[in-house]
């Protein structure tokens, strides 16, 4: 048994935001029926996410533990089947731009009439209100408009975050909203429409920085500029490492490890304020010393002195990190035609309901016949739907 066993989800999402929310639901045991357009979701074939082995890595990552049905929602029979699935579902999830799902006849009003107990979940780029509600967006433009690029870079040189943080975060908030909606329905009997947006998620991500700005005016500076050299990455003989703060009580121990005992009582660096004021000078000293040993030598010695430090890992390092492996954050799963492949695991653990990767991402329409039979369709009716290219 899993935490969301028995919850049925109708997933009419594509790309990243919606599929990430619904894969979290599927990982926790929900029966997620993924509705795909004829030919399948577009990310199955997108060149940048299909590797040299022919594995659509984005689709693989975001659609495991789901069942797939192909439906042409622009045909009346396709819409009819979708509404029949609505009647059996606990959750309906869509991430189309406002207005698109309504034109398909599957907006909140229509869906909630067919199933008043359903949690209807929407994700959009810019929210359901305002002059730009219907404008499109991708992760990159979300990071831009949401202010993240000037946090990872600066106003003079905005730099996007490497991972699709805007998409991923919005999907996480969508998942949280769905689970909260289900809990509220369980406790109060009230089902409702829950919605999240990319811009709203990014505002929430930066709540500390935005609140500081609203109250004080100037934005919070980067860790490096705010706290100086003791919050900074440094190049060693072979790799980069990162130090995250040196409490005053640890300053002598840090200097000893670094072979800089003379700095402890040096009036230029004797107090936190003095070190901050001479930050660049101190940083130059650290840079020269760190180059004398390997990164893991420094990590070992600094950890023994109770200094918070970590290697700056590449993705290649992360997937081999013994901590990630020990906690099943990197797992293996079977993928048809390719055997076992390594994938990112489930980030949530339950002590009495262990979460597993039960099935790989489905083939296009792999479960269409199975799902239609569950709705009561006969083989003859299914064959007719195939001939009419509804499924």
Smallest Cα–Cα separation from 144: which of 79, 188, 202, 189?
A: 202
The pTM of the full predicted model, rounded to 2 decimals, is 0.90
List 94's β-bridge partners, or say none: 12, 122
* 313 φ/ψ angles, rounded to the nearest 5 degrees: -80, 145
d(CA 66, CA 31): 7
Q: What positions carry a catalytic annotation?
A: 167
User: Would residue 245 be called left, alpha or beta, if left means φ above 0 and alpha means ψ between -120 and 50 degrees?
Assistant: left
Domains delineated in the chain: 8-208+327-387 (3.40.50.10540), 223-317 (3.30.1540.10)
In tens digits, what is the pLDDT along the chain, a chain of 391 residues? 999 999 999 999 999 999 999 999 999 999 999 999 999 998 887 644 545 566 778 888 899 999 999 999 999 999 999 999 999 999 999 999 999 999 999 999 999 999 999 999 999 999 999 999 999 999 999 999 999 998 888 788 888 888 899 999 999 999 999 999 999 999 999 999 999 999 999 999 999 888 888 988 876 655 545 556 778 899 999 999 999 888 889 999 999 999 999 999 899 988 888 888 888 899 999 999 999 999 999 999 999 999 999 999 999 999 999 999 999 999 888 887 778 888 899 999 999 999 888 898 999 999 999 999 999 999 999 999 999 999 9
């Amino acid at each position: 048994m899993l935490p969301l066993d028995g919850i049925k989800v109708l997933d009419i999402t594509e790309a990243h935001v919606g599929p990430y929310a619904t894969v979290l639901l599927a990982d926790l045991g929900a029966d997620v029926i993924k509705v795909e357009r004829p030919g399948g979701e577009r990310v199955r074939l997108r060149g940048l996410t299909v590797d040299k082995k022919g594995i659509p890595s984005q689709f693989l990552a975001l659609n495991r533990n789901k069942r797939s049905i192909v439906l042409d929602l622009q045909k009346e029979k396709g819409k009819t089947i979708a509404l029949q699935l609505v009647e059996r579902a606990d959750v309906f999830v869509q991430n189309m731009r406002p207005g698109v799902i309504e034109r398909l006849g599957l907006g909140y009003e229509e869906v909630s009439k067919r199933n008043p107990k359903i949690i209807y979940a929407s994700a959009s780029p810019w929210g359901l209100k305002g002059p730009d509600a219907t404008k499109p967006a991708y992760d990159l433009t979300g990071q831009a408009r949401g202010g993240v690029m000037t946090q990872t870079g600066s106003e003079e040189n905005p730099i996007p975050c490497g991972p699709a943080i805007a998409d991923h975060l919005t999907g996480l908030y969508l998942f949280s909203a769905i689970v909260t909606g289900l809990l509220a329905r369980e406790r109060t009997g009230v089902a409702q429409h829950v919605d999240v947006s990319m811009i709203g998620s990014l505002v929430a991500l930066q709540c500390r920085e935005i609140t500081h700005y609203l109250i004080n005016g100037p934005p919070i500076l980067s860790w490096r500029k705010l706290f100086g050299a003791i919050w900074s990455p440094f190049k060693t003989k072979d790799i980069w490492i990162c130090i995250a703060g040196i409490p005053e009580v640890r300053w002598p121990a840090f200097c000893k490890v670094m072979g800089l005992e003379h700095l402890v009582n040096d009036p230029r660096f004797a107090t936190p304020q003095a070190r901050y004021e001479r930050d660049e000078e101190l940083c130059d000293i650290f840079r020269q010393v760190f180059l004398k040993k390997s990164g893991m030598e420094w990590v070992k010695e600094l950890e023994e002195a109770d200094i918070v430090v970590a290697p700056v890992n590449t993705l290649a390092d992360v997937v081999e990190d013994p901590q990630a492996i020990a906690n099943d954050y990197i797992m293996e799963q079977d993928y048809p035609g390719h055997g076992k492949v390594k994938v990112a695991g489930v980030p949530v653990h339950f002590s009495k309901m262990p979460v597993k990767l039960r099935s790989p991402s489905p083939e296009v329409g792999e479960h269409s016949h199975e799902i239609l039979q569950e709705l009561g369709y006969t083989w003859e009716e299914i064959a007719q739907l195939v001939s009419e290219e509804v499924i």
